[in-house]
Amino acid sequence: MKKLKIGIIGSGGIAQNAHMKGYASIPDECEIVAVSDINPDVAKAAAEKYNVKDIYTDYKELLKDNEIDAVSVATPNAYHKQPTIDALNAGKHVLCEKPLAMDASEAREMCAAAKATGKILQVALQSRFGGPARFMKDYIDQGNMGDIYFARAQALRRRGVPGWGVFIDKEKQGGGPLIDIGVHILDFTLFLMGYPKPVVASGKTWDTMGKNPELWNSWGDYDRSKFTVEDFAVGLIKFDNGAVISLESSFMGNLDGDPFETQLFGTKAGAKVRVYGDNPIEIYTEKDRQLFNMQPKNIPHVESSHVAEVQAFVDAIKNNKPSPVPGENGLILNAIFDAIYKSSVSGKEEAIDVSF
C-alpha cells in the first residue's frame, strides 16, 4: 500500500511537537507533504524542521492538493470547525486537536460532515493511548472493577496559567482549564467507563485568581487584564446508566501539587489512576473479607502518547478501521462543558444534548 500523504493545518507548537513528530515516527507509512499557517514564519520553521516541500499561508490552498490523504488540524480552538469540515468535504481524513470544537453546536456540524463524507474524524486526546489507560481499560473490560458508578476526575494546577498563545482568551479558546486540560482527564475517565451517555450537569466556575497581578505563575508572567477565561471549574455530571462523575479543573488553585488523575469507584474494586508518572495505578479491592491495595508493575510502556495517537490515526486509515477517538466523543465532551458553563451562570442543573 502506498504511503499516506499528510498535510498540516496550523503549524505551531502542538503541530511540531506532537502531530508532525508522530507522522515522522513512521516514515514507511506516511509522509508530510505540506504545512500551512497564517504566520508564514511559523509555517516555514515547521517545514524546515521536518523537511516538508509545500508551504501555505491559506489552508484552503493546501486542501486543493488531491494527493493529500489526511490532515492534522492544529489551530487554536476557534479555528477547528471550518478547516475540519472543509478538509472532510475535500475527501481528507482529519485528526483534529482537542477539544473538538468551541461548543457542542460546532462539534455537531463536524460530526455530521464526517458521517456524510465517510472519512475518519479523530479527536487528538492522547491520554487514552498511554500505558496507564491501556492497562486499566483491559483490567476493567475483564470485569475486575464491576460496575463503575462514580469517578472523581481532577486536572488541577496550583500555578500553571499558559500565558502564551490564546489559552487565556475566551473568544479564541472557548474557556479556560475546563476546556483545555479538563478535556483530557474527562476523556480519560469516560474512556475507562465505556463512554456512557451524559444526561445533565451542574457546575461552577471562578475567574478571580487568574486576574490577580499579585500572584506568581510558574509558567511566567502574562497580562492579567487579558485573562477572560475561568481559572477554576467544577462540575457534577450524571449519566443515563446511573453513573456520576465529579470533575475539577484549574489553572490556579491553592492546593498541594498538580494532580492529574481519576479515581474510579466500582462495585468489585476501586482505583486511582494518574495519566503519567511512576507507579501511576493503585487498585483497591477485597478478597475473603480482607482489603488489598495493589500496584501493577507491568504497565505497558508507551514512549509518547502523542506519537501513539498519530500512529493509531494512520493505522485506522490504512486498514479501514473506525476512528480511534471518534468525533462523537468530542461532541460529548463539548456538550458537557456547555452544560457546566451554562449551569455556572444559571445556578441550575442543565440538560446535555449529544445528538447530531
Which pLDDT belongs to residue 181? Answer: 98
**Per-residue model confidence (pLDDT) at position 257:** 94
Q: Name all domains of the chain by residue range, CATH numbers in brackets.
A: 4-127+306-321 (3.40.50.720), 131-301 (3.30.360.10)
Average pLDDT over residues 111-118: 98
The model's pLDDT over 155-192, given as tens digits with 9 standing for 90+, comes to: 999 999 998 889 999 999 999 999 999 999 999 999 99
Q: How far apart are CA 76 and CA 156, in angstroms?
A: 22
Query: With bands split at pLDDT 50, 70 and 90, how would you rate the model's confidence at 126?
Result: very high
What is the pLDDT confidence band of residue 346, given thresholds at 50, 70 and 90?
Answer: very high
**Counting beta carbons within 10 angstroms of the beta carbon of residue 174, is it exposed (0 to 12), middle (13 to 18) or buried (19 or more)?**
buried
Amino acid at 75: T
Residue 165 pLDDT = 86
Cβ 181 vs Cβ 231: under 8 Å: no
The fraction of the chain above a pLDDT of 70, given in percent, is 100
1 has a pLDDT exceeding 90? no
Which of the 8 DSSP states describes residue 263? E
Over the stretch 254-299, which tens digit does the pLDDT of each residue have? 999 999 999 999 999 999 999 999 999 999 999 999 999 999 999 9
What average pLDDT does this structure show over 225-231?
A: 97
Residue 344: the pLDDT is 98
**H helical segments located in the chain:** 13-14, 20-24, 40-50, 59-63, 81-89, 104-117, 131-141, 170-173, 177-180, 182-192, 305-318, 327-346
The reported pTM is: 0.97
Q: What is the pLDDT of residue 332?
A: 98
CA 39 to chain centre: 25
Q: What is the mean pLDDT of residues 295-312?
A: 97
Longest dimension (CA), the chain: 66
The predicted pLDDT at position 240 comes to 98
Query: Residue 128: pLDDT band by 50, 70, 90 thresholds?
Result: very high
pLDDT of residue 212: 97
Kindly state the average pLDDT of the residues 135-162: 98
The answer, yes or no, to whether residue 19 has pLDDT greater than 80, is yes
Residue 83 CB contacts under 8 Å (≥ 6 apart), including other chains:
9, 10, 59, 71, 73, 75
Mean pLDDT over all residues of the chain? 97
Band of pLDDT at residue 216, cut at 50, 70 and 90: very high
Whether 10 and 74 have beta carbons less than 8 Å apart is answered as yes
User: H-helix or E-strand containing 6?
Assistant: strand 4-9
Spatial CB neighbours of 339, under 8 Å, sequence gap ≥ 6 = 198, 200, 201, 202, 203, 235, 237, 350, 351, 352
The cell numbers describing 52, all together, are 516538508
Q: What is the DSSP letter of 301?
A: P
Rounded Cα gap, residues 34 and 121, in angstroms: 19
